[in-house]
Chains A and B, each alone.
Chain A
């Protein structure tokens, strides 16, 4: 609708965060074609993300802009800004990691920025067409990122698994969109929402939304669409895994929040019921499966399923501060997850990833700072006060109480206890005695980029845990109206 007018400078400026993420990789691609230089590509990517962040902040106070099936408002800018920060952290962590493991390092950064662009656009989408396109930008970048270490069988396997299942879920999503289109004759959220107000929910529409939720559920890795999670988490290298766990899932949550704000899908009981079952199943299955893991990456994979279940509770209690709670929880979870995978990436060597829990045995007595950091991360995942995880859970629970979701909250309490058990296992491992463990951890002297990233993440976890008001106000200001 808005395509027939010429874009003004003002609009161009407001689109800058996205344009930067588009231009950055293209320029980098040309540069790589001319001359490969890891350090330069790394630095260039950092600058790209920093530029995105700066333009996000500069545009934050602007009025919302609707252009070409995208809405650039505070909400999408907030998510884009968060993704850019996560992007910076992952970039910082990647340098050292790629240096150790891969022979072609530079292209990784292109994919990283593209994938982030995909996620940001998903949150900005106000139309099923743009949603699907940006989802594909994200997915296609992810296929190759997961299989990036192509000399490792496990990475290839994980990439292939993700490819097949993601394609499948895209198909389901498309079919859902088709059903909604069939009933309403519209693809933009606003038009569908208006139509719904008149006609109400027909069976086709409910089926359509169920399929859209299924497609989205795959990206968010909630039960029963979670099967890929553990294998992909384990197979992909740690920086990529942390990206899947954060930006990729966050993009989908943000997109769902926007979609369901404009289309009142949660007024339908069937849709709510489906989401409730998914949330409960995710919490229980995720936590119970996590109990039995001895591989830290798999443990985090299953625990992420449970955490998305918690976020769904906030999502179901939509209007009761639920969307804000979901956004905050997402942010808290980002910080924590980045911390966990950051540590793994930091400790991994060219021989393999530091992914076995037994690897961390007695870590405290060898590397107290790292162990203290890991403890902080585990406590945050478990939702213990002073950490972001606790405040996140508090916000989720508050919105749940307001929406009278007592059963789900009771499940949340039970699952938190299960969660505590396996997170503590990791902590206990680190504090137990070092019996005849060889000094396997080789850490380079001096300050490395990874270390800066870890310190930043630790500060974020504590900041969100002790003084959440600042961020919460920002989130509340950014709500879609």
Chain B
């Protein structure tokens, strides 16, 4: 059902026209997904089978490749997030993108289609296909409509992800081959490949191939280098999609593929994974604190937040997993919102230097209050979605490893410092420079307002999300 919608979206943007078409396209997709969720909510949360939708047709049968899409609760949540942020990204580009709009929206929609494809593909060849498909338009988005050092950032982004993606591809082939040799049927299908047996060393090697690709996307700390540049140089919608969606594909990949395929190797790797996650939390927070470029700052907070995902994923219990999914969603919303707000400021002042702002509250109270809300969300204030997520992750991981989790909790304190710093330096204190800044327009209020609503909703009543992914989590943990 939704697979059809994906194909339809993919087909429709070839006629790349202006923003209106793309807005309508994404909106329709979003509404379809919403209606689907609303009407099938009971089924989604109570069904005993993991998969809600399953669509399969042959593609390259000689090599066991099929066009196989399937959707479960996790995919559904992430697809909703994708389409929601998709609508917003079209809206925020309304004024920012003035030249070559047709090609711009073409790329934007293509990324969305690629991301949805990644979230639904259950044929590994198809998965890799979508994985690559979303890269190229992102590369263009950064490379053409980005800021001052766009070419450098675009290259870095592309090379990092391409290199790690190719290693994943080799791992996929290895998995395909080993499975084929032991069972006699060569297939790329997720369901066929599940439960393949390996020599421990081989399993670990193959898992590293997968993990490397996902870790670059997430990003995990030693591999995060591309992120600050890509985020900073991308246009606002690009940063929103990068932070809100592309990073999530890494987390999704670990949960969907890396762990179920290689349970033994995953157990071996788990403590290291948690340590790496913790390092990410602390290191990202520290670097975020020392940035003067607002966008770069927000980018490093992403690194820190994704550390929580990495920590929770390797804790292997349902509490932590619920937290991870919540973190994926709320981070998409809150960090996305921060990027949007910084984007708004950049549109008005053409600078992102934190030192040139100050005391702007009086002039732009709406912008300021929005910034305050999301800065608080980012530091994990109760009542806002991120709190639930981080709390669940930490309490889940605490069961798995007390020491590491205790250290990771320091991240929350650091989060408070950097989040408040944004607000304090920009909106309070002495006015350093006179800016002619209009406050938010109706379009901008709609964009930010919807994000505020969602983050509050997730903060007070996260149960629907947790319910939707519960069958998935039970299943994934069942493979271990």
Q: Which residues of A contact B (CB under 8 A)?
A: 365, 379, 384-386, 390, 394-395, 397-398, 401-402, 409-410, 413-414, 416-417, 420-421, 424, 428, 431-432, 467-469, 472-473, 476
Contact = CB atoms under 8 A, between A and B. Distances in A.
A473 B62 contact: yes
B166 interface: yes
B60 interface: yes
Interface stretch (B156-164, B296-304, B310-318): B156-164
Nearest to B100: A365
A413 B159 contact: no
B223 interface: no
Contacts of B272: none
A235 B142 CA distance: 37
B41 interface: no
B155 A401 contact: no
A183 B129 CA distance: 50
Contacts of A390: 132
Nearest to B154: A428
A420 B159 contact: yes
B32 interface: no
A416 B155 contact: no
A469 B170 contact: no
Nearest to A386: B133
Contacts of A410: 170
Given A401-B176, A472-B60, A409 B159 contact: no
12 contacts: A384-B132, A386-B133, A394-B125, A397-B173, A398-B63, A401-B174, A417-B162, A417-B163, A420-B159, A424-B139, A424-B158, A469-B59
B260 interface: no
Contacts of A432: 151
A399 B154 CA distance: 33
B60 A416 contact: no
A414 B167 CA distance: 9
B63 A379 contact: no
Interface in B91-136: 100, 125, 128-129, 132-133, 136
A226 B291 CA distance: 50
A402 B125 CA distance: 17
Given A385-B133, A421-B155, A431-B144, A397 B62 contact: no
B132 A385 contact: yes
Contacts of A472: 60, 62
Contacts of A409: 170, 173
B169 interface: yes
Nearest to B173: A401
B170 A413 contact: yes
B60 A469 contact: yes
A444 to B, nearest CB: 26
Interface string B71-102: 00000000000000000000000000000100
A289 to B, nearest CB: 19
Given A401-B173, A413-B167, 7 more contacts: A379-B136, A398-B63, A416-B166, A417-B166, A420-B158, A469-B60, A473-B62
A469 B143 contact: no
A397 B188 CA distance: 14
A413 B177 contact: no
A467 B143 CA distance: 30
Contacts of B177: 398, 401-402
B140 interface: yes
Contacts of A386: 129, 133
A420 B162 contact: yes
A417 B159 contact: yes
A398 B158 CA distance: 24
Q: Which are the 10 A-B pairs with shortest beta-carbon distances? A: A413-B166, A417-B163, A401-B173, A385-B132, A401-B177, A385-B129, A469-B60, A420-B162, A397-B173, A416-B166
A468 B65 CA distance: 11
A200 to B, nearest CB: 29
A379 B132 CA distance: 11
B63 A424 contact: no
A410 B163 CA distance: 11
Contacts of B132: 384-385, 390
B166 A468 contact: no
Given A401-B177, A421-B159, A469-B59, A431 B136 contact: no
B61 interface: yes
A388 to B, nearest CB: 13
Contacts of B129: 385-386
Contacts of A385: 128-129, 132-133
A365 B102 CA distance: 12
Contacts of B125: 394
Nearest to A466: B59
Nearest to B58: A469
A53 B177 CA distance: 38
B156 to A, nearest CB: 11
A373 to B, nearest CB: 15
A283 to B, nearest CB: 13
A218 to B, nearest CB: 30
Contacts of B176: 398, 401
Contact of B61 (A365, A397, A469): A469
Nearest to A390: B132
A402 B63 CA distance: 12
Contacts of B154: 428
A267 B36 CA distance: 59
B169 A397 contact: yes
Contacts of B59: 467, 469
Nearest to B160: A417
Contact of A384 (B61, B136, B140, B163): B136
A431 B176 CA distance: 38
Given A397-B170, A401-B177, A409-B170, A476 B155 contact: no
A409 B143 CA distance: 30
B155 A424 contact: yes
A204 to B, nearest CB: 37
Nearest to A417: B163
A397 B143 CA distance: 30
A467 B177 CA distance: 22
A401 B136 CA distance: 27
A428 B61 contact: no
A402 B167 CA distance: 17
A413 B143 CA distance: 24
Nearest to B60: A469
Given A413-B167, A417-B159, A417-B166, A469 B62 contact: yes
Contacts of A417: 159, 162-163, 166
Contacts of A395: 63
A428 B128 CA distance: 24
A323 B11 CA distance: 35
